[in-house]
Structures are given as C-alpha cells and as structure tokens.
C-alpha cells in the first residue's frame, strides 16, 4: 500500500536524486509521474498530483523544489484533497526561471494540513528568509537544513535517510517504530524522537 507520494521538481528526479532513491528503497513510496518534466504546466502537474491522492488517499506528499510549490498550489486550490500531510523540501521560487514562472505567484494562505518546510540557508532557488516567511503564511513547521544548497544531487543529496526519517517521525505508518531525527523543527517542543 502506497503511503508516500514523491513529487519531483523541474526535470524530474534522476536516478541519483534522493527522491528516486526513496522510491527504489521504500515499497510504500511512489513517484508521481508528470506528462512533461521539462515543460511544466501547473494545470497538468496539479491534475496528476490530485489524481494520485484519489488513488492513494491519506498519503504524505513529499515535494522537492517546484514539486513543493505544486503541492502548495494544490492544497490552496483544493482543500478537500485527503492527505496525511506534506513535507516540502527546498521549495523553489517560480520567477527564477521562465520555465517555472507559470507556477507563480506562490499562494500565501494557511494550509489546512500538517505541513513541514525544510529549507537551506544557501539555496540558489529560494532565499531561506522567503522560505521561512512562506512557512509562516502556510502555518507550517520549519526545518533549517543549514548550508545544504538545493538539497539535490549537485549539493550532495543522493540517498537522504533523514528525509525518510522525518516522514516517519511526523507521519508514522502503523507498526513502525518512530526514528530519531536530529534536525531542529521550529515551533516544535522537541526535535528528537516523539513518543
């Protein structure tokens, strides 16, 4: 049974990317495929993500870069979508590229689901100050990833066990132990194992 839907960003997640690794190592995770990874259309991407949530209700959406922004657009437009929550990793500012501009402006209203934003201090796609501000607007928790770049292959993120551990810590699956995660989550009383 699928419990995690992975939403890649622009150009998808190639084989070495942590999302590809996650899908390959977790039988309860699936990448939501898009008609075009290189010429993204908000309408097409949101339709595919929404369809996946209908097939796999109560899943956790894990978006990277433009995939994180697509999740926010979906949850802002269709609050009736049934998900367990969303982990938004390295959200990207759509205005940074002509290929992604149609995904802007980024919605800034509160989201009705449990949402966590994980952002880097030196991400070329979105300044951390903007990511924190958006997390506040969405009523989301925030994780400071330090100097982690865009949290992709170029910044050294192939396999990313901490991402999987974050998913399990905040949205545990039945019958699994909650892993310890040593990343501080703003607005959370404790950033380690939750009992």
| Helix axis angle, 42-55 to 66-77, nearest 10° | 70
Would the pLDDT of 179 be above 50? no
Exposure class string for 80-98: b at 16+ Cβ within 10 A, else e: ebebbbbbbbbbbbbeeee
Mean confidence (pLDDT) of the chain: 90
Please report, for the chain, the start and end positions of each structural domain, with discontinuous segments joined by +.
4-186
pLDDT value of position 182: 46
In the chain, where does DSSP find H-type helix?
18-25, 42-55, 66-77, 128-138, 161-170
Give the tens place of pLDDT for each residue, 29-63: 999 999 999 999 999 999 999 999 999 999 999 99
pLDDT band (50, 70, 90) for residue 180: very low
Please state which of the ranges 150-154, 159-163, 187-191 shows the lowest mean pLDDT: 187-191
* 123 within 8 A of 93, measured Cβ to Cβ: no
pLDDT band (50, 70, 90) for residue 186: low
Give the tens place of pLDDT for each residue, 65-119: 999 999 999 999 998 999 999 999 999 999 999 999 999 999 999 998 899 999 9
pLDDT value of position 189: 31
Give the residue-averaged pLDDT of 155-183: 78
Longest dimension (CA), the chain: 45
Would the pLDDT of 193 be above 50? no
- How far apart are alpha carbons 104 and 16 in whole angstroms? 28
- How far apart are alpha carbons 180 and 191 in whole angstroms? 9
Domain 4-186 part of CATH 3.20.20.140: no
Give the residue-averaged pLDDT of 16-21: 95
pLDDT value of position 84: 96
What is the CA 195 to chain-centroid distance, rounded? 24
pLDDT value of position 107: 97
Give the residue-averaged pLDDT of 185-191: 41
């Amino acid at each position: 049974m699928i419990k995690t839907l992975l939403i890649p960003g622009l150009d998808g997640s190639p084989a070495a990317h942590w999302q590809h690794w996650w899908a390959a190592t977790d039988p309860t995770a699936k990448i939501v495929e898009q008609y075009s990874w290189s010429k993204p259309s908000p309408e097409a991407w949101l339709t595919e993500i929404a369809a996946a949530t209908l097939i796999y209700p109560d899943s956790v959406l894990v978006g990277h870069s433009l995939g994180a922004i697509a999740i926010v657009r979906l949850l802002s437009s269709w609050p009736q979508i049934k998900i367990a929550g969303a982990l938004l990793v390295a959200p990207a500012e759509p205005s940074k590229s002509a290929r992604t501009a149609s995904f802007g402006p980024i919605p800034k209203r509160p989201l009705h689901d449990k949402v966590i934003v994980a952002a880097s201090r030196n991400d070329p796609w979105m300044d951390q100050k903007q990511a924190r501000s958006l997390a506040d607007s969405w009523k989301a928790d925030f994780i400071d990833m330090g100097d982690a770049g865009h949290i992709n292959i170029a910044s050294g993120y192939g396999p990313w066990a901490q991402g999987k551990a974050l998913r399990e810590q905040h949205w545990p699956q039945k019958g699994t132990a909650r892993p310890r995660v040593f990343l501080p989550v703003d607005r959370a009383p404790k950033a380690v194992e939750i009992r």
